[in-house]
Structure 1
């Protein structure tokens, strides 16, 4: 036998022995028959650490000594899934765990309460959330008795899991460090008092994302800060009709997980602008971030704790941001200011296209018709699908949407685009826009002395 064959055989034998010694646990996969009759909640806790990133250990609820990799001096994140009517495991579980561990040396515990969540009777699954919460509360108390700090615990709950996190937090008198609710479930929770749903008193800091408030999600604010992605409804790229099958019902709801994962991975950042309504946000009436100090408006997701102190002082903050159809989901925001010199008032829509280094990005401001009046600055809010670090050219198009009426011209005295992150402004003066015709030009840095 050649030496390399001998070494390969030895390596295989060692691998087999390791696998025998360390059994990898998997999330419970229940078929539909189990979903009908499952009554035993049987909450399973699957532990991942940097020592066992891909091989979960089934954690004993009472004996931590059998899990030396479970270091209670580290932070611990619990991932709590939601309703599973078919009993299938969430497709995002492993990716979620991997990203958290790549981001930080911590304990990640995947809470498998599928025996309680996998039930065609949604009412029964809701009833089981209290049992799951009691089970996890007891486990966290034992963690605390063994030296863990409640400050270092982060509960991340999806849908029904968000309310489970809230119940756990309430059981522990709000001492948990952080709860993140990802599109907390709405059905059977809407209208409930705080003790029967997630609320800001359930943890020292509660941040919540809403993506399906007109369907499976919860409409009203639930945390110290609530982010409404795309107004909380109709996520870009999700099906618009029932003919798309099951994805029509769950795409908006599940988008909450995808957006949070983007924030963990630092793929890009999305700032939430404080606003009373999505309409005001789109109209550009909510771009002032001074209340948050030098850091500006809070960034959605994993790193929002950077704004924790100021958010706790503010009480409850409701914010909005828009996203793209696919990852990277973050958009790039600009303030657009247009001044015209037409004698008559014009109503219409503006499309802005930016070009630079062989790339281009487009923002169409068409959620409503804007009013343009002589020597009066019209302020608009434009969000582009990508951020161009260097803008070489700009294109503008004016449209009215009126097919039968005569074509108008918009005589632009000045247009100013201000990048809301970098605070850089680009201007152009004296441009005539014929309706539905794109005009391209080179913008110049704005000068404060101009107008």
Structure 2
């Protein structure tokens, strides 16, 4: 303390400034005007366990840099809550280490950039932080009552259930479902981000998230072989990369803690990508991932007038189609890149051959733009069968997308180490962008593919031919 006093004596104005700032901060804290923050705990808290304590942190465009702590029983004291606007309630999941979710601030900022709304962060870190996962599940059930009180107060002050949108990650997805059940499924929307599997798998709909819990329920499954829930839970269930191993995540335990949480957490980052420009992730309704990979589900004409569903924030644009389905459940698949914003650009490659003998094999696809940039398809389909005068549909996915494709490279392979080399006589090759349906389809006619030798050519705009 004497060193600080000496410093103030040497630099009087600096000392006065520091002292004044300290007093000012203390006054703000004393009168309760400091910004409340998300509860920050550590692994020591997890070891001893935590008792449930919930903060409801409100952010709006008027206070987007400083949360307001709401009381679920008395909203009249709120300065910023406007119940006539849409309210998005965000609920995190289990917290083994006790630290705040790294995505909480980012998703709040992105949502407020997108629309003038209320964003309420449900901080139940005290309760979610526990080495005993089942204790956290018990705490989650108590969070439901608190959120029910909150929404009741909002309704009493003029809000409508249509305007309530809940986003829940892991256990938080099931919390949202339980709240939705309390209102007989009349809440506007629930998004489940990789809903938790442990303690919930095999439960009846009354004991987990279900498509009847809101007017529209969309779910992203990114870790169905470990921490996530495998089966469909919503009106539409998205399975990125089949819902298991996500590109860019560690494949072995040598990846450290990321090995355990990366796949599970990817659902949140995929959702946030949908809030950013230039990354509308299109998904393809399909019965399973294998059929999607083999090009059997690329076309969405069956779902017109709605196009293929889009992942994330705008998934509810597909809602009018789902209402007509009985039961209203759809599974959709797509592939992603390994880095944010995770977009992969999908193309269909339709090939008609005129070889007399049928051939089974694989087609590797490259595209090049006018500047000489090249990208190769990252989707590995099963072997396709090429029959004479029949169209074989292949799916290609590229990390890069080109407005102008100047060259296409195709390589045919049977992947047989021994035996004769084969060739495909191609009557027509058609390349169609699935991510941008307005783009001109490109074709090439009457050429031969020799096995394991890349054929590179300049495509031309397609014209229909009689086969």
Which TM-score applies when normalising by structure 1?
0.92
Equivalent in the alignment of 2:449: 433
Measure, in 2, the Cα distance between the counterparts of 1:347 and 1:400: 7
Equivalent in the alignment of 1:234: 245
Measure, in 2, the Cα distance between the counterparts of 1:169 and 1:120: 28
1:329-352 residue CA offsets vs partner (Å, 9 max, x unmatched): 222222211123334333221111
Measure, in 2, the Cα distance between the counterparts of 1:122 and 1:69: 35
Which of 207, 218, 224 is matched with 1:196 structurally? 207
Measure, in 2, the Cα distance between the counterparts of 1:366 and 1:254: 25
Cα RMSD between the aligned structures? 2.2
Which of 161, 180, 198 is matched with 1:169 structurally? 180
Q: CA deviation at 1:19?
A: 6.4
Q: CA deviation at 1:218?
A: 0.5
Equivalent in the alignment of 1:361: 375
1:204-241 residue CA offsets vs partner (Å, 9 max, x unmatched): 11111111111111111111111111111111111112
Equivalent in the alignment of 2:146: 135
1:348-370 residue CA offsets vs partner (Å, 9 max, x unmatched): 21111111142332215533122
Q: CA deviation at 1:388?
A: 1.4
Which of 336, 359, 371 is matched with 1:323 structurally? 336
1:293 lines up with 2:308 in the alignment:
no
Does structure 1 retain, via aligned residues, the 8 Å contact 2:74–2:153? no
Gaps of 5+ in 1: none
Which of 63, 70, 74 is matched with 1:52 structurally? 63
Measure, in 1, the Cα distance between the counterparts of 2:215 and 2:293: 32
Which of 313, 325, 347 is matched with 2:360 structurally? 347
Does structure 2 retain, via aligned residues, the 8 Å contact 1:292–1:307? no
Give the secondary structure class of the aligned counterpart of 1:269: coil
Matches within 5 A, 1:203-218: 203-218=214-229
Q: CA deviation at 1:184?
A: 0.3
Does structure 1 retain, via aligned residues, the 8 Å contact 2:50–2:129? no
1:386-437 residue CA offsets vs partner (Å, 9 max, x unmatched): 3211211111112222233343333323211122232532111222223322
1:371 lines up with 2:385 in the alignment:
yes
1:272-312 residue CA offsets vs partner (Å, 9 max, x unmatched): 22111111111111233234323312111111221212212
Measure, in 1, the Cα distance between the counterparts of 2:362 and 2:300: 26
Equivalent in the alignment of 1:152: 163
Measure, in 1, the Cα distance between the counterparts of 2:118 and 2:378: 44
Does structure 2 retain, via aligned residues, the 8 Å contact 1:205–1:312? no
Give the secondary structure class of the aligned counterpart of 2:269: helix
In the alignment of these two chains, the number of paired residues is 442
Gaps of 5+ in 2: 1-12
Measure, in 2, the Cα distance between the counterparts of 1:334 and 1:288: 11
Which TM-score applies when normalising by structure 2?
0.89
Measure, in 1, the Cα distance between the counterparts of 2:302 and 2:391: 25
Give the secondary structure class of the aligned counterpart of 1:79: strand
Give the secondary structure class of the aligned counterpart of 1:307: helix
Which 10-residue stretch deviates more, 330-339 or 285-294?
Answer: 285-294
Q: CA deviation at 1:450?
A: 5.2
Measure, in 2, the Cα distance between the counterparts of 1:187 and 1:277: 23
Equivalent in the alignment of 2:10: none
Equivalent in the alignment of 1:121: 132
Measure, in 2, the Cα distance between the counterparts of 1:365 and 1:398: 15
Which of 397, 400, 406 is matched with 1:383 structurally? 397
Which of 427, 437, 457 is matched with 1:413 structurally? 427
CA 150–98 in structure 1, closer or farther in 2 if over 3 Å, else same: same
Equivalent in the alignment of 1:422: 437
Give the secondary structure class of the aligned counterpart of 1:201: coil
CA 120–267 in structure 1, closer or farther in 2 if over 3 Å, else same: farther
Equivalent in the alignment of 1:397: 411
CA 441–297 in structure 1, closer or farther in 2 if over 3 Å, else same: same
Equivalent in the alignment of 2:193: 182
Equivalent in the alignment of 2:93: 82
Equivalent in the alignment of 2:347: 334
